[in-house]
């Protein structure tokens, strides 16, 4: 399967070099969706098999039609007598052809319904439920309830080998949640909660993408699923639950003040006064691998670059360019570097 993918999609390799703001091929939407040709989990297996079966059947139909068309053209040229066309005994052929088509289409329908039923619910009760809310153009991820609740962005961590239920919401327009290697696509619709379960059979990072055109930065609306051994997952979970610690240096304290004045209307940092809800929770922003829904790799330089030039990096994003003096940028950077 992998070979097929590489044969058909060599373009993904070269596209990776073209990304301007990062050296990481997984960022900037360069590689990921070639992976739709393989499955790494129980929810994606039936969909993958269905995809290949339908591709095979459709290819076969194309070939048969092409051959028959060629034969018809060849035959027509030999038969110059116009009456020969009328007297041709094509009726039984049409009859048999129709029956075969009907049976084939009916069979495909049954198969598709079976696959739908198979992926509707996980084989056993989900070990974990997370809520994913799609925004223009990023993903909010909510874990747990009550005081144990926390929010992160564009990253979904799951324990490996168990089914995880994802409740899907939208804050604005219709988006769609898709992790090609782990599941089929499911729309997120304002006012509705959709469900999709995913399961990763092995540890790894699985790229996801919004797959319903939702506006100008639809293509930069990616996320990553981190499938981890239970112990690693538990460690991550505990770290995410903690509030941000108070800044230790004077510089970072100035940074926090600046954040409260300039950024808190949109962003939350738990443990500080910042409680904005229209943008990613930044309490543990440093723990994330990518920024801005998979657009750039999260390095200190890229982070400050993003804050000051978001509109250049992701034109049209709902984060404005923040103009900062060098001193302000230094303070903010010192503060953000505490958000591990």
Binding residues for ligand HEC (CB under 6 A)? 137-138, 153-154, 217, 259, 262-263, 265-267, 279-280, 282, 285, 288, 291-293, 303, 306-307, 314, 317-320, 322, 332
Binding-site partner at residue 169 among ligand HEC, Cu ion, none, CB < 5 to 8 Å by type: none
The three-state DSSP-derived secondary structure of 68-103 is: HHHHHHHHHHHCCCHHHHHHCCCHHHHHHHHHHHHH
CB of 282 to Cu ion, least distance (A): 21
Lateral strand order in the sheet of 175-178: 155-159, 222-228, 204-210, 175-178, 186-188
CB of 221 to Cu ion, least distance (A): 4
Compute, in degrees rounded to 10, the torsion defined by CA atoms 145, 242, 228, 210.
60
Binding-site partner at residue 285 among Cu ion, ligand HEC, none, CB < 5 to 8 Å by type: ligand HEC
CB of 291 to ligand HEC, least distance (A): 4
CB atoms within 10 A of CB 303: 19
Which pair of structure tokens corresponds to residue 72? 């018809």
Question: If binding is defined by CB under 5 A, does position 175 make contact with Cu ion?
Answer: yes
Binding-site partner at residue 57 among ligand HEC, Cu ion, none, CB < 5 to 8 Å by type: none
Q: List binders of Cu ion among 197-256 (CB under 5 A).
A: 210, 214, 221
Whole-angstrom distance, CA of residue 33 vs CA of residue 180: 7
User: What residues have CB less than 8 Å from 34, skipping those under 6 apart?
Assistant: 5, 9, 12
Site map (CB under 5 A) of Cu ion, residues 118-157, x = contact = ----------------------------------------
Binding-site partner at residue 188 among Cu ion, ligand HEC, none, CB < 5 to 8 Å by type: none
Whole-angstrom distance, CA of residue 130 vs CA of residue 164: 8
- Binding residues for Cu ion (CB under 5 A): 175, 210, 214, 221
């Amino acid at each position: 399967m992998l070979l097929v993918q590489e044969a058909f999609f060599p373009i993904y390799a070269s596209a990776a070099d073209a990304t301007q703001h990062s050296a990481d091929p997984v960022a900037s939407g360069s590689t990921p969706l070639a992976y739709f040709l393989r499955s790494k989990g129980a929810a994606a297996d039936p969909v993958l098999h269905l995809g290949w079966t339908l591709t095979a059947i459709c290819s076969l139909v194309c070939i048969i039609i092409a051959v028959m068309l060629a034969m018809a053209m060849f035959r027509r040229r030999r038969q110059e007598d116009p009456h020969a066309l009328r007297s041709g005994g094509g009726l039984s052929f049409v009859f048999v052809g129709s029956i075969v088509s009907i049976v084939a289409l009916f069979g495909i329908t049954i198969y598709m319904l079976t696959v739908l039923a198979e992926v509707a619910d996980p084989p056993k009760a989900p070990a974990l439920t997370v809520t994913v809310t799609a925004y223009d153009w990023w993903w909010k991820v909510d874990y747990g309830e009550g005081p144990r609740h926390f929010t992160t962005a564009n990253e979904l961590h799951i324990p490996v080998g168990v089914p995880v239920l994802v409740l899907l919401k939208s804050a604005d327009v219709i988006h769609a949640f898709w992790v090609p290697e782990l599941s089929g696509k499911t729309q997120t619709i304002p006012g509705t909660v959709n469900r999709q379960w995913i399961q990763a059979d092995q540890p790894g990072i699985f790229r996801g993408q919004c797959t319903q055109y939702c506006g100008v930065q639809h293509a930069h609306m990616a996320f990553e699923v981190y499938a981890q051994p239970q112990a690693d997952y538990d460690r991550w979970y505990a770290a995410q639950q903690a509030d941000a610690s108070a800044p230790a240096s004077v510089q970072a304290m100035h940074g926090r003040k600046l954040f409260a004045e300039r950024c808190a209307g949109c962003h939350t940092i738990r443990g500080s006064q910042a409680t904005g809800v229209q943008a990613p929770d930044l309490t543990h922003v440093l723990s994330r691998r990518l920024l801005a829904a998979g657009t750039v790799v999260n390095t200190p330089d890229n982070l400050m670059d993003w804050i000051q030039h978001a509109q250049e990096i992701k034109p049209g994003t709902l984060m404005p360019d923040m103009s900062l003096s060098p001193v302000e940028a230094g303070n903010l950077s010192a503060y953000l570097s505490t958000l591990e």
